[in-house]
Amino acid sequence: MATMVQAVRLALHVGETKLGVTDIFGEDVGPPLGGVFTATQGLRTAWNSPLDERGIVGAAMGLAMAGQKPVAEIQFCDYAFNTIDLLKLAGNTLWSSNGDWNVPLVLMTPVGAGIHGSLYHSHSLDAQATRIPGWKIVMPSNPRDAYGLMLSAIQDPNPVMVLIPKALMRVKAAGPDEMIPGEPEDPRALGKMIDAPIGQREGWEPEWPETALEFVPIGAAKTVRRGEHVTVVTYGRMVGVAKRAADVLSREDIDVELIDLRSLHPYDWPAIAESVARTGRAVFVNEDTEITNFGEHLIRRCVEELWDSLRAPPILEAGKHLPGVGLAEPLEAATIPGLGSVTDAIRRCVRQPDRRVGNSRPRRDFAFTWTGEAPVGPFDAYERAFRHR
């Protein structure tokens, strides 16, 4: 039973042996450390870069445009902010070259709070990442999704950012549904196979299990829990928090439907719209700061496109708009959403009066059918048009 960081490592091994990954690199990514969270231990193509995030992104772009398939790591997303102009270039290359140049690179980086990392190890990147057109953005909430999303990112012909909640790195699968097909069920057995020994590592070689080539489609959300009173849309570390909040509220006869978005771009609008149109109430939860938050974009679409179905104004539960996240545990808890604040936000949404009572306007009906493929939006349409040129 893999942890999330072991799942990422297993996916990268599959990537370099079956999907053509040529370079896995970043600060301390290669031997002897194998990554600050050990996500790259034992990988054949892993190497260390200088401490220069712009150099890492620039090298990845160059390798990708020269026909290689790199996976680059920014050690903490807090240090990705000085690479924004290069990320723009990577994202717009397909468009600006009229479809002539793909940039098949993966950029992975740990995000979010929960480890008391304070100013430079607790930021979120959701909002900034989704403002850079041309990138696909994914964020897993469990080991199996981390494995499948990483494989999809590697296979994609254009840049994909894999945002990994750092507080979930050591978290194991919650049950068989979150296990990777082919991995040993005993976590100690898996650890002996792929975790580097502490201390002397010279001559150590991992023993990789034969895991399945299982992809999680980019753009496909997962309904974690069915409910009828309110829709909660979230991703990453907040999925587990929202699950616990739903359990608390079930004792108050509040039935929560929980959607794990998994992909921030392209995102699964049909899944969100179908659920919100049915429950009439929506709460969007994430760790990023509340001003110009990605959840605000989703609220805007709900208001513009689902107005006649909404029983109450949607609510955003997000991080405080502060320069940093508090170091001490009470300060960190006061900065970002937690079980108490998420539970209160959902309860507040459900207890608002039904604005449709007395409204004679007919409710707009929605009928979305999930086909198993990623939804087609403007971004997908333009990318597919170029891909087949």
Q: State the 10-residue block means of pLDDT for the chain, 389 residues long.
A: 96 98 97 94 97 97 98 94 96 96 97 84 92 97 98 98 96 92 92 91 91 97 98 98 98 98 98 98 97 97 97 97 86 93 98 82 49 48 47
pLDDT (0 to 100) of residue 378:
46
Q: 192: Cβ–Cβ under 8 A, 6 or more apart, which residues?
A: none
pLDDT (0 to 100) of residue 229:
98
- Extract the tokens encoding 44: 């054949």
pLDDT (0 to 100) of residue 380:
54
Query: Which DSSP symbol is given to 3?
Result: B
Residue with tokens 């994909």: 160
Nearest to 86 by CA among 55, 48, 49: 55
Determine the length of the chain: 389
Distance (Å, rounded) from C-alpha 326 to C-alpha 118?
5
Rounded to two decimals, the pTM is 0.91
pLDDT (0 to 100) of residue 384:
54
Residue with tokens 């790259």: 40
pLDDT (0 to 100) of residue 389:
37
Distance (Å, rounded) from C-alpha 294 to C-alpha 291?
9
Active site residues: 121
CB 99 within 8 A of CB 305: no
pLDDT (0 to 100) of residue 367:
53
